[in-house]
Structure 1
Amino acid sequence: MAGERGDGDGSRDTAEPEPLRAVEHELTVLLRRARAVSWEVAREVHPRLEPNAYGLLLLLFRSGPTRLTDLAAELGIGKGTLSRQIAALAELGLVRRQPDPVDGRAALLDLTEEGQRRFADARRARQEQLHRALAGWPTADQVEFARLLSRYNAESR
């Protein structure tokens, strides 16, 4: 296979250095676990909530009333896709559209009171899980972990 070389003993070595393979493996494990947690957290917010909607709710929670175009740009998805997701969240009573006071042609999206309550409850549960997972780590390691994750996220956009 391209990018692989054999050493004659039946094993395969890739051209990537060992640290890169280790990072790839750990990211795969992290993403698999994150998907499982996303399903759990989404169900805590609402039994019919899609798992990927948690990130959208988090953005609305942090930003407050926001235009659809701004959310789409932040998430890196099309307005049509986001519009469908927002419609589903509105149907569940978690998100509302309200007129933009600056531009009457536009709408602002925001969490409803029910959406805020449900999201806050699920977020608390998620933060408790994270706290348990990192409880044995020294504070300096937690700070470094957050710094490295932030750097990775910023550089992989």
Structure 2
Amino acid sequence: MATMPESPDDADFTEAIAAVETQLGTFYRRVRTTWSESAVAVHPSLQPIGYKILSALVQHGTAHAGTLGEQLAVDKSVMSRQVRMLEEFELLTVGSDPNDGRARILTPTSFAVERVTEVRARNRHRLHAVLRDWTPEELRVFSGLLGRFGAVAEAVSPES
């Protein structure tokens, strides 16, 4: 493991990294708040992780429960609990895979598609309002930085 040199440039780098950590913490808190608000807008008892699962189903259509859980990095027991709740709230239906009776196929209900679509439209409107004054070039730079953000997100936890 490399040690941190003590030159002025390195102190500046360390300070800049600390600023990034602060902004990442703020970003994660805001994302969690948005997921919570979005979940409640779909169903008053829906948890943010349930919204995340449902949103993925609405975006991509029918999916195997296990595959979706892996894609979203959701533990099997959490996925199972959330699927039961989503089914109870009549936001998805659960069927059996004709090729593998053990596998569960999840399909969002038309009500879920309608609600998630409305929530996404509201969130998109808010994003447009915030970014309205940015130039197309600034938006492209921001988009590129967000693309690089994936590696950063893997390196830190939401609790940072």
Query: Would you call these one fold, judging by a TM-score over 0.5?
Result: yes
**How many angstroms apart in 2 are the aligned matches of 1:124 and 1:136?**
20
Q: What is residue 144 of structure 1 aligned with on the other side?
A: 141
2:107 alignment partner, SS class: strand
Distance 1:77 1:52, change over 3 A: closer
Gaps of 5+ in 1: 1-13
Supply the AA of the counterpart residue of 2:134.
Answer: W
Aligned length: 144
| Contact 2:35–2:52 (8 Å) recurs in 1 | no
Q: What is residue 109 of structure 1 aligned with on the other side?
A: 106
Task: Say which of 35, 53, 58 aligns to 2:55.
Answer: 58
Q: What is residue 85 of structure 1 aligned with on the other side?
A: 82
Supply the AA of the counterpart residue of 2:30.
Answer: R
| Contact 2:39–2:46 (8 Å) recurs in 1 | yes
1:109 alignment partner, SS class: strand
| Contact 2:57–2:63 (8 Å) recurs in 1 | yes
Identity %: 33
Task: Say which of 30, 33, 39 aligns to 1:36.
Answer: 33
Supply the AA of the counterpart residue of 1:34.
Answer: V
- Work out whether 1:48 is the aligned partner of 2:45: yes
2:74 alignment partner, SS class: coil
Distance 1:33 1:153, change over 3 A: same
- Calculate the TM-score normalised by the size of structure 2: 0.80
**How many angstroms apart in 2 are the aligned matches of 1:154 and 1:18?**
20
**How many angstroms apart in 1 are the aligned matches of 2:25 and 2:152?**
18
- Calculate the TM-score normalised by the size of structure 1: 0.81
**How many angstroms apart in 2 are the aligned matches of 1:140 and 1:128?**
20
**How many angstroms apart in 2 are the aligned matches of 1:151 and 1:85?**
31
1:60 Cα deviation (Å)?
A: 0.9
| Residue deviations 1:126-151 (CA, integer Å, cap 9, x gap) | 11111111111112222222222222
Residue pairs, 1:71-82, within 5 angstroms: 71-82=68-79
Gaps of 5+ in 2: 1-10, 155-160
Distance 1:24 1:107, change over 3 A: same
1:77 Cα deviation (Å)?
A: 2.3
Distance 1:58 1:140, change over 3 A: farther
**How many angstroms apart in 2 are the aligned matches of 1:61 and 1:128?**
19
| Residue deviations 1:72-91 (CA, integer Å, cap 9, x gap) | 11122221111101111111
